[in-house]
Amino acid sequence: MSPEQYKPQHQKRLSALLEQVNRIYGTEKMVLKAGKLGALSLLRSRDPSRQLLGLQRLLLENPTLSDLPTAERFPQVFAELEEALAGLMARRSLEESLEQKIRERLEKQHDELLMEIKREVLREWGGVENPQTLKKYAQTEKMFARQLARTAQEMLRPTALEEIVGQEEAVAALISKLASPYPPHIILYGPPGVGKTTAARLALKSVQKMPGTVFADDAPFVEVDGATLRWDPRDIADPLIGSVHDPIYQGARRSLAEGGIPEPKLGLVTQAHGGILFIDEIGEMDVALQNRLLKVLEDKRVFFESAYYDPTDAQVPKYIRLLFERGAPADFVLIGATTRPPEAISPALRSRCSAVYFEPLTPLEIEEIVRRAAARLGIDIDAEAARLVSRYTCEGRCAVNLLIDAYGRALYERQRRGGSRKKLRIDAALMEKVLISSRLLPLSPAAAKPRAEIGRALALGVCGFTGVVLEIEALALPASTPGRGSLRFNEAAGSMARDSVFVAASLLRKVSGVDLNDYDLHLNVVGGGNIDGPSAGAAIFLAIYSAVHGLPLRQDCAVTGEISLRGQLKAVGGITEKIYGARLCGLRKVVIPLENGFSQASRFPDMEIAAVSHIEGLLSHFICREDEGA
């Protein structure tokens, strides 16, 4: 076949290719592209071979092609160009489809963003309130407007350190420690209701007025109850030390959670920075939490950790970066208060705190508290009624509560009688009714007696922060069979007391030659009290000595101390509490071991305190000879 036979057919295919290319690129874009590839002059030629070469450069994007296709190669060239054009059309179709989807997605996001902006504007314009929240707000405001009168305890609470009765030494010790240029952490020990919490609340204000104080005028006083403090070992929540709210599990603020940024939550130790953190009932805190607090006291700051914190993230706010890198400041003075013994506090925490001991209140101090409270209530109280209160409680708070109960009872009875404008008066009869309704018992069943008795000695013990007086009785009868006597003693009194009985028996034989095997001896601790320690040894010896020899013992004097086999009176603990207990029972004389010293005398000016080192001196204080009378 000659090339001329294919010319019309080639021309149609060539025209179709040119038309399709022009449709895909567009005239302007096709001209620009062809000009860059050196194909524009070829496409404008009337020679089919040059036009095919121009299409080759354009579709194959190869400006180096220069061989004009011959008529024999026209079918092959057309096939190559059509294949290239098909690929171009497929790519263009895919691009258009993707562009359509992208436009749709952008339009959707644009609409959502626009709606979010509208909602934000509406919230800013109309607030977050709705009819339901506004209704609850009004109900809450109404509840605030309706309130009862101030509680009597709140009204009668001391407003100055000078008004705290019976704790002059403890208050002076507390203030002197806080007034130091280097104030230590402090733990207040003492029985309930003696003014520990009130003293701590008033201490900061008092120290702020002193020159050279380390506490600023705006120093915070943060108060928390240690009995209610809870924490999560997983560090999810810790109101005392602080914790980190991770963006996924614990719900950090939305603006932070969206960026995966953890949010530190500051604890009470940081709120107390520069001031005082007061933990009431610190002895009830979990030991692990006490140790965590110890770490803060050492570092004076709280360090936070989180697997979500990325120090290279530019989206982390400056304050969060600062808290993670330097920690939260927590430089404060800790004041803890507890009614429990020092052993209940973590040894590590206790060793870093200075101790201040609040004393049990004496009957005279309880009477003074009652009189002051009555004056603030605007009522009169008989002296006998105040003394009656002091016999039933050694807690100032309890004494005030009894007075408040009597005040309410007096108001009720006056109204029942028709009312009167006379000033209310609390007498002993009214106070006795209150005590009966409160089911209170006297502080100690033992009491001083004016006459001496045989086989009865008064011992001193400790129960918590309060001393108690124990009655120890002994009855010695000749054994039915000489040399085969028996010994009976309270099982409930404890093994330490039983050991003291054996020591007393051996010592009695040593000093007087009396063998207890010749007696049926029965010892009894009245009331079934448990004696935890050897401090009742001296009283047990006196009771046995008196029963065996028939010598009466003074009943207006009590003793405490461990007795040794050599007849020495050894030192014991809790002397202060024991002397207080003796005063509560009306005793005015106590005998203590010489090793405990005479320092107690200045603290109890109305008490006769005798210190002895040997049983000879002990007997001289208790034994009443026949010429002295019983």
Integer Cα distance of 121 and 276 in angstroms: 44
CB 465 within 8 A of CB 481: no
Integer Cα distance of 264 and 241 in angstroms: 11
Cα torsion 497, 499, 502, 508 to 10°: value is -60
What residues contact residue 237 under an 8 Å CB cut-off, 6+ apart? 230, 231, 243
Query: What token pair was written down for 18?
Result: 């040119």
SS3 100: helix
CB 263 within 8 A of CB 244: yes
CA 389 to chain centre: 34
Query: What token pair was written down for 606?
Result: 């109305």
List Cβ<8 Å contacts ≥24 apart for 425-430. 425/379, 425/380, 425/381, 425/382, 426/374, 426/379, 426/380, 426/381, 426/382, 426/385, 427/382, 427/384, 427/385, 428/382, 428/384, 428/385, 428/388, 430/385, 430/406
Cα torsion 145, 149, 155, 157 to 10°: value is -80
User: Nearest 5°: phi and psi at 557?
Assistant: -145, 140
Burial of 130 (0-12, 13-18, 19+ CB in 10 A): exposed
User: Nearest 5°: phi and psi at 238?
Assistant: -155, 95
User: Nearest 5°: phi and psi at 472?
Assistant: -115, 120
Instruction: List, in sequence order, every residue forming a beta bridge with 562; answer none if it has no partner.
Output: 570
For residue 519, give the H/E element and its range: strand 519-525
Integer Cα distance of 58 and 148 in angstroms: 95
SS3 380: strand
Residue positions annotated with a catalytic role: 535, 578
What residues contact residue 17 under an 8 Å CB cut-off, 6+ apart? 55, 78, 81, 82, 85
